[in-house]
Structure 1
Amino acid sequence: TVKVVAIELDDKPFFTIPTIASTCAATSEVAAVYTADHTFDDVAFVNHPPVHCFIDADILVEAPSRYLWAGMGDTIAKHYETHLSARNREQDYNTQLGLTLASMCSEPILAHGIQAYKDSQANKRSDAFDTIAMTVIFTTGVVSGCVPMAYNSNMAHAVCYGCVTNKETEENHLHGEIV
């Protein structure tokens, strides 16, 4: 990905243009690394998020609805994983901010997710679709940047990374479908 290339080129600044609303990768410091045959290999971490993310909902709504479905799964997990990770720990300002924003990872999905998914299936932009796409890409990315890296992956992500060691699971399921 552009993130890994940016690291290898002396930590150059980079920008992103997401074409699917499937994860927060376009706005976060995390990069999923895949092999030449498109199977998951590793997670790489960059030193900073993109300097800008150009989000065009007209492009996102044309993607297969499966990606939005997976994005909602990954995003709703962010709320629960961050709060579970934070239990019984003292939090600094950034972490408190991230935990507060994490509630915005679940509430919009519970309120508008079904409608957004139906609109995605029809390739129809709507307020529901736009809200969920921004929640998946932007809100979750901001949360990821505010909380400690260890808070970003808890039980749901651990199970996911274990499941993708099975080639059939990895080839047939998106990240957010497993999470």
Structure 2
Amino acid sequence: MTTKIVASPSKYIQGNEELAKVGNHTRDFGKLPFVIADDFVMSLTKDIIEKSYKDNGSNFVMEKFNGECSKVEINRLKEICRGKSCDIVVGIGGGKTLDTAKAIAHYLNLPVIIAPTIASTDAPCSALSVIYTEEGEFDEYLLLPKNPTMVLMDTKIIAAAPVRLLVAGMGDALATYFEARACKQSNAITMAGAHSTEASYALAELCYNTLMTDGLKAKLAAESKVSNLSLEKIIEANTYLSGIGFESGGLAGAHAIHNGFTVLEECHHLYHGEKVAFGTIAQLALENAPMEEIDEVIEFCIDVGLPITLEDMGIKEVKEDDIRKVAKASTAEGETIYNMPFPVTEDDVYAAILTADKIGRLYK
């Protein structure tokens, strides 16, 4: 019998104005929190955080995150945290801030609380940090020994975030079921370090079904800066269902192809989930999925505003050399493309990307 693992944060909390309770949430785990956020998020949340800690009579240290989850930035913040004798890390913001917080906590062996201000990726719940170079190209996955101590989702703040970020989160979540399915078929080892469980596969499937039923309604609510039941469901799908689904269900073609697209400068303006959405269509092309399935995915992408062609990705002129570079990076040694339930070559990925682009153009 094979070993199966499902991994998750110790606690997932989602609710209106939940960030205002951060002082109470951290007090059970440490006396002096090290809080990181980028400039924008700091300006948005600093008063809320200060009041929360003032109300419970405790202190905190807040430091600016410079925007890239790179080894240089992780080391810089790690040394500040150590120098201030902080005993818990709190990351507030988007995926790169949160991945940086997790890495700092890992290297210093501290608990970490993750407080997303957007629902743009499935990173918050995972025992994983995606490391990039200083220039923004994918570097490596940092696999962590444990998941975050707590994930704190403030639906009021998330509802007020730019709609494109929520949609990008749906793009990231869109891949979860299809990659988990591929990993189940190939009996691949997941990011959790073993084979997938029925629970993780069920969560991945629920993630996809939630996107199909509530994705468009959630986008419309977010456009009005309000939180309703659909938006709450999508926040949970983007963050928790996709987070557990990808980590314990497995990654495959879509995320590998996303990593490939990071080598093209034309795609650097895209959010992670926007590239993953196109990577999902390319994975479906790669595995020769039924057109009914591809049609449902593409119609969803059109409804919420995710890319379905290379032109949508910012590639105005399709050059063979460029797509070959993407395919080569997608099939680098150790990439998750090899979790597909059949052998995959660089030529296969090249063909899948061009096929996905051609299929997407049919809907234009």
Pair in the same fold by TM > 0.5: yes
Indicate the residue corresponding to 1:7 in structure 2. 106
Aligned 1:30-41 pairs, distance under 5 A: 30-36=128-134, 40-41=138-139
Q: Aligned pair in 2 of structure 1 residues 93, 66: CA closer, same or farther (>3 Å)?
A: same
Indicate the residue corresponding to 2:205 in structure 1. 103
Name which one, 1 or 2, has greater alpha-carbon Rg: 2
Deviation at 1:60, TM superposition (A): 0.6
TM-score computed with the length of structure 2 as normaliser? 0.45
Match for residue 172 of structure 1 among 265, 269, 275: 269
Pick 1 or 2: higher relative contact order, CA cutoff 8 A, min separation 6. 1
In the alignment, is residue 129 of structure 1 matched against residue 231 of structure 2?
yes
Q: Aligned pair in 2 of structure 1 residues 88, 63: CA closer, same or farther (>3 Å)?
A: same
In the alignment, is residue 79 of structure 1 matched against residue 177 of structure 2?
yes
Q: Aligned pair in 2 of structure 1 residues 94, 80: CA closer, same or farther (>3 Å)?
A: closer
Indicate the residue corresponding to 2:141 in structure 1. 43
Deviation at 1:146, TM superposition (A): 3.0
Deviation at 1:145, TM superposition (A): 4.2
Aligned 1:62-77 pairs, distance under 5 A: 62-77=160-175
TM-score computed with the length of structure 1 as normaliser? 0.87
2:110 aligned counterpart, secondary structure: coil
Measured against aligned partners, the alpha-carbon deviations of 1:47-66 in whole angstroms (never above 9, x if no partner) come to 11111111110011111111
Indicate the residue corresponding to 2:115 in structure 1. 17
Measured against aligned partners, the alpha-carbon deviations of 1:51-88 in whole angstroms (never above 9, x if no partner) come to 11111100111111111111111112101101111115
Q: Which runs of 5+ in 2 are unaligned?
A: 1-99, 277-364
Deviation at 1:13, TM superposition (A): 1.9
Q: Which amino acid aligns with 2:143?
A: F
Q: Which runs of 5+ in 1 are unaligned?
A: none
Aligned-pair identity (%): 28
CA distance in 2, matches of 1:129, 1:103: 18
Q: Aligned pair in 2 of structure 1 residues 55, 87: CA closer, same or farther (>3 Å)?
A: same
CA distance in 1, matches of 2:195, 2:103: 29
Measured against aligned partners, the alpha-carbon deviations of 1:126-152 in whole angstroms (never above 9, x if no partner) come to 1111100111111112223433xxx2x
Deviation at 1:34, TM superposition (A): 3.7
Measured against aligned partners, the alpha-carbon deviations of 1:86-137 in whole angstroms (never above 9, x if no partner) come to 1153998962211111111100110010010111122111111110011111
